[in-house]
Amino acid sequence: MKKIEVITRPFKVDDIKDALTDVGVKGMTVTEVKGFGRQRGHTEVYRGAEYQVDFLPKVKIEVVVEDAITADCLRAIQDAARTGEVGDGKIFVSSVEEVIRIRTGETGDSAI
Amino acid sequence: MNAADTAFVLISAGLVMFMMPGLALFYGGMVRGKNVLGTLMHSMILLGLVSVLWAVVGYSLSFGEDIGGVIGGLNYFGLAGVGQEPLEGMTIPHLAFMIFQCMFAVITPALITGAFAERIKFSGFLIFSALWIICVYSPMCHWVWGGGWMAKMGALDFAGGAVVHMSSGAAALAATFCLGKRKGYGKEPFIPHNLPLTILGAGMLWFGWFGFNAGSALAANGLAASAFAATHMAAAAAALGWIIVEWMHRGKPTTLGMASGAVAGLVAITPAAGFVGVMPAILIGLIAGGLCYGGVLLKHKFGYDDSLDVVGIHGLGGTWGALATGLFASTAVNPAGADGLFYGNPGQFMIQLVSVVATWAFCFIVSYALYKIVDAIVGIRVSPEDETKGLDVSQHSEVGYQI
């Protein structure tokens, strides 16, 4: 099992959700986050004074998937999220030791 | 007594009162979220404090029997003799005049609060405001409207360029010297937390200002209509003037700029509203918009922390308005006024200039002394820890937003 974390542009979240659903993902967690990478921030101007705002609004999508569909998921996310401009974001993949469905006590792939 | 005049002035008093929540929102939106309640409170509590003070002693010091052209006597102490009968030469009940003037007294110290926003101690703020009404506002009001020396000199100030805007601007400048900069000034950005509040507040100010300026005619007549039209046109032109200048300077027109420009225009037309025609009013507003945009940049150049630009907008806008009155005033608009420089009377401009210098000097010096006195009694500034926590929690034990 793998945990996939995607940090990307807020307006892409629906496209990514649809793409992941299409390859068989059944649930995900989405958080509004702020941060910066190579895109850096932007400037804001108030009464003629410029301020550098470092942290841009982004979304973080977290999803845990079976090993078998991990590659499909990663491809789907990239296709859905890519604009080609700086600021498209990143995907982090890590191994997950165990998953437990609280309601039934199921573990492993069947709990995802 | 005239029923129409009375109704008009009472409604105008209500309109000016409505500027208080307007100003509260205008300022409240510009501070950081942790200071929103403290900033709203600064404006709103003055409706409480100054109103009571005005009824007890402020009105008498402003409009009581003249003592040497400097201050009013105590003959109206506790509103003694201020009743339903009109004052001599007026067509409205004395009480209507008193309550209309009360709203002016309330809003003036509230304007100052933009300068020391986000760092003043609430107790110190209350004591300062009370002392300021007695030591600065009441004399100024008496000098200009209560038959004091500026009135005798012939200085024109229709609705408070000197009494309200320059006085608060000068006190604001003194505040920046006495309180110092906000913690983190120049290192962290101080970004407005809710500009929609600010825009709404600016709209309420614009609306209330009709009572402020047109109401200052103290009668429902042609002069009131003239002042109303001049007020609106100056605000309109100044909103344009500001965004034109900032568009050229920074590349984008901003909503905060539009709102700030409108207020700058309203400030600038205040002393002139009942003395100038509509076309000069547009010109006064247009220039005020550009001028005050430059004015707010001065603080970065000189390094004083006037948090919400009271000096740049009220100080500078009021000064420009007072001088512009000396340029554009016309007896064709108001026979009780005077002609300005452009109508063949350069002397009026000099009179206005004297009133500007005297107002700045008096208000700055006395305000400076008052801050120092209050600082010695209870302290004027919150502790660094309280400042970091924000005024809402540290001064009032509340927070504005439960998120």
Task: For residue range A40-75, list pLDDT tens digits in order.
Answer: 888 889 998 888 888 889 999 999 999 999 999 999
Of A48, A52, A53, the CB nearest to B249: A48
Closest CA to B273 of B261, B264, B288, B284: B284
Q: What is the pLDDT of residue B201?
A: 98
Q: Do A48 and B293 touch (CB under 8 A)?
A: yes
Distance CA B94, CA B88 (A): 9
Which of A34, A45, A46 has the highest number of chain B CBs within 10 A, making it the mutation to test binding with B? Answer: A46
Tokens of B297: 């940049």
Q: Do A48 and B192 touch (CB under 8 A)?
A: no
Average pLDDT, chain A: 94
Q: What is the pLDDT of residue B35?
A: 97
Residue B180: band (very low, low, confident or very high) from pLDDT cuts 50, 70, 90? very high
Which of A43, A47, A53 has the highest number of chain B CBs within 10 A, making it the mutation to test binding with B? Answer: A47
Residue that the structure tokens 């002397």 belong to? B347
Q: B118-135: b or e for each residue (b if 16 or more CB lie within 10 Å)? A: bbbbbebbbbbbbbbbeb
How many interchain CB pairs under 8 A, A with B? 31
Q: Which residues of B fall within a CB distance of 8 Å from A49?
A: 297, 300
Phi, psi of A59 (to 5 degrees): -115, 150
Distance CA B204, CA B369 (A): 33
pLDDT in tens, B87-97: 999 999 999 99
Q: Do B189 and A47 touch (CB under 8 A)?
A: no
pLDDT in tens, B211-250: 999 999 999 999 999 999 999 999 999 999 999 999 999 9
Of B191, B293, B297, the CB nearest to A44: B191
Q: Do B256 and A46 touch (CB under 8 A)?
A: yes
Task: Tell me, yes or no, if A46 comes closer than 8 A to chain B by beta carbon.
Answer: yes
One DSSP character per residue, A47-108 reads TTEEEEE-PEEEEEEEEEE-HHHHHHHHHHHHHHH--SSTT-EEEEEEE-S--B-TTT--BG
Q: Do A53 and B257 touch (CB under 8 A)?
A: no
- Closest chain B C-alpha to A48 CA, distance in angstroms: 7
Q: Which residue of A has its CA nearest to B242?
A: A47
Which of B187, B256, B308 has the highest number of chain A CBs within 10 A, making it the mutation to test binding with A? Answer: B256
Q: What is the pLDDT of residue B169?
A: 98
Q: Do B260 and A47 touch (CB under 8 A)?
A: yes
pLDDT in tens, B101-110: 999 999 999 9
Of B189, B252, B309, the CB nearest to A47: B309
pLDDT at B206 exceeding the cut of 80: yes
Q: What was the ipTM of the complex prediction?
A: 0.82
Q: Do A46 and B293 touch (CB under 8 A)?
A: no
Q: Which residue of A has its CA nearest to B186?
A: A51
pLDDT at B322 exceeding the cut of 80: yes
Distance CA B229, CA B281 (A): 9
Q: Do B256 and A53 touch (CB under 8 A)?
A: no
Q: Give, for A35, the enclosing helix (H) or strand (E).
A: strand A29-35
Q: Do B296 and A47 touch (CB under 8 A)?
A: yes
Of A45, A52, A53, the CB nearest to B250: A45
Distance CA A65, CA A61 (A): 13
Distance CA B334, CA B216 (A): 13
Q: What is the pLDDT of residue A68?
A: 94
Task: Tell me, yes or no, if A49 comes closer than 8 A to chain B by beta carbon.
Answer: yes
> Picking from A39-48, B187-196, B242-251, B365-374, which range would have the lowest pLDDT averaged per residue?
A39-48
Residue B277: band (very low, low, confident or very high) from pLDDT cuts 50, 70, 90? very high
Task: Tell me, yes or no, if A52 comes closer than 8 A to chain B by beta carbon.
Answer: yes
Residue B202: band (very low, low, confident or very high) from pLDDT cuts 50, 70, 90? very high
Q: What is the pLDDT of residue B401?
A: 94
- Closest chain A C-alpha to B120 CA, distance in angstroms: 23
Distance CA A71, CA B97 (A): 80
Q: Which residues of B fall within a CB distance of 8 Å from A47?
A: 256-257, 260, 293, 296-297, 309
Average pLDDT, chain B: 97
Tokens of A103: 């309601």
pLDDT in tens, B375-397: 999 999 999 999 999 999 999 99
Q: What is the pLDDT of residue B217?
A: 98
One DSSP character per residue, B260-322 reads HHHHHHHHHHTTTTTTS-HHHHHHHHHHHHHHHHHHHHHHHHHT---TT-HIIIIIHHHHHHH
Q: What is the pLDDT of residue A40?
A: 83
Q: What is the pLDDT of residue A39?
A: 82
Environment class of B88 (CB within 10 Å of its CB; exposed 0-12, middle 13-18, buried 19+): exposed
pLDDT in tens, B45-65: 999 999 999 999 999 999 999
Task: Tell me, yes or no, if A44 comes closer than 8 A to chain B by beta carbon.
Answer: yes
pLDDT at B44 exceeding the cut of 90: yes
Q: Which residue of B has its CA nearest to A51?
A: B189
pLDDT at B355 exceeding the cut of 80: yes
Residue B282: band (very low, low, confident or very high) from pLDDT cuts 50, 70, 90? very high
Handedness of CA B137, B143, B146, B148 (dihedral sign): positive
